[in-house]
């Protein structure tokens, strides 16, 4: 009877060890694939992410927002001319160069509005280059080899049935939270791109304010916000890379249960930091 009980216990332990190893291997394989997926998505420009959506946004901007921007540009140009006249004592101190100055500023403002999409896309082209270059370095340095988890097998095999069952349940919790975080990462990445589309759709209006020093603060802040949301993708990659490195350090500890709880804590921290990347990018670029 004792031999039969030992065989049954060993059989259950083998099943639990295999289940734990399968759960952990699957979790870290998913992490590796998510790093690659996020890198590819973040390195995609708005024009390439959803070409049909981008073309729709561009058509709306050019056919709906551009006429409004033309009205605003006309108002700003007239306001600028009035300010120049008043500044020179109602032309009592007449200087012809002020009109050339006004013509030049108005010409530049018109050119900015006319080429608004080229300018906005140039910003995201630069951000894409930074993300692509950093993505290669991040992917090479943080990739987790699932086969290295085999080093934990001997530790697991030396454990009793009760602790093994507890670890088995915890690995399911780790998998669930990681899958939940994968959804959070997806929502943040796709939500960032939708926010880019929303901002780009109204680009002609803030660009129409560059003809006047006072009103140009709207356009300047808009440009800073575009740069911030462009480089938010870089900050998202940094957060995921830090998370991957930390997971790599704790996943192979001999204290398996302690390591799993550390994994849970860092996964929750990852989600919090991903939500903070937008505000961090805006604070760096002084966008309000």
Two structure tokens written together for 34: 């998510």
Domain that holds residue 239: 2-62+116-285
* Residue 96: inside a domain: no
pTM: 0.78
In a domain, 83, yes or no: no
Kindly state whether residue 133 falls inside one of the protein's structural domains. yes
Per the structure, how many domains does the chain have? 1
Instruction: For residue 110, tell me if it sits in a domain.
Output: no
- Could you write out the three-class secondary structure of the chain? CHHHHHHHHHHHHHHHHHHHHHHHHHHHHHHHHHHHHHHHHHCCCHHHHCHHHHHHHHHHHHHHHHHHHHHHHHHHHHHHHHHHHHHCCCCCCCCCHHHHHHHHHHHHHHHHHHCHHHHHHHHHHHHHHHHHHHHHHHHHHHCCCHHHHHHHHHHHHCCCHHHHHHHHHHHHHHHHHHHHHHHHHHHHHHHHHHHHHHHHHCCHHHHCCCCCCCCHHHHHHHHHHHHHHHHHHHHHHHHHHHHHHHHHHHCCCCCHHHHHHHHHHHHHHHHHHHHHHHHHHHHHHCCC
Q: 155 and 255 in contact (C-beta within 8 Å)?
A: no
Is 98 part of a structural domain of the chain? no
Q: What is the pLDDT of residue 127?
A: 87
107 occurs within a structural domain? no
Reading the chain (288 residues) residue by residue, the pLDDT tens digits are 557 666 777 777 778 877 877 877 777 777 667 767 777 788 788 888 888 988 999 899 888 899 998 898 888 888 888 877 777 665 556 667 777 878 888 888 888 888 888 889 889 888 888 888 776 666 554 445 555 566 677 777 777 777 788 888 888 887 787 777 777 878 888 888 899 999 999 999 999 888 777 788 888 899 999 999 989 988 988 887 787 777 766 655 566 667 777 777 777 787 788 888 888 998 888 876
* pLDDT for residue 227: 92
Structural domain includes residue 68: no
């Amino acid at each position: 009877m004792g031999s039969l009980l030992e065989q049954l216990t060993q059989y259950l332990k083998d099943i639990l060890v295999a289940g734990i190893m399968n759960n952990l291997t699957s979790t870290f394989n998913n992490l590796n694939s998510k790093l690659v997926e996020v890198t590819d998505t973040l390195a995609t420009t708005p024009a390439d992410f959803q070409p049909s959506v981008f073309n729709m946004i561009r058509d709306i901007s050019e056919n709906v927002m551009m006429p409004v921007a033309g009205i605003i540009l006309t108002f700003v140009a007239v306001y600028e001319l009035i300010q120049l006249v008043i500044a020179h004592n109602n032309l009592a101190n007449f200087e012809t160069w002020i009109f050339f100055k006004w013509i030049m500023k108005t010409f530049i403002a018109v050119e900015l509005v006319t080429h608004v999409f080229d300018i906005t896309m140039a910003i995201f082209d630069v951000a894409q280059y930074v993300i692509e270059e950093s993505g290669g370095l991040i992917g090479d340095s943080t990739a987790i080899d699932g086969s290295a988890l085999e080093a934990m097998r001997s530790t697991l095999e030396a454990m009793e049935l009760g602790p093994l069952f507890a670890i088995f349940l915890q690995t399911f919790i780790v998998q669930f939270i990681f899958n939940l975080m994968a959804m959070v990462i997806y929502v943040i990445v796709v939500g960032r791109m939708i926010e880019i589309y929303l901002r780009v759709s109204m680009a002609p209006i803030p660009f129409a304010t560059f003809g006047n020093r006072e009103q140009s603060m709207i356009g300047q802040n808009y440009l800073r916000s575009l740069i911030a949301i462009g480089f938010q993708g870089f900050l998202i990659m940094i957060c995921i890379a830090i998370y991957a490195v930390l997971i790599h350090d704790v996943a192979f500890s001999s204290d398996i249960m302690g390591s799993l709880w550390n994994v849970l804590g860092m996964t929750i921290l990852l989600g919090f930091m991903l939500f903070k990347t937008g505000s961090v990018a805006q604070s760096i670029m002084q966008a309000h």
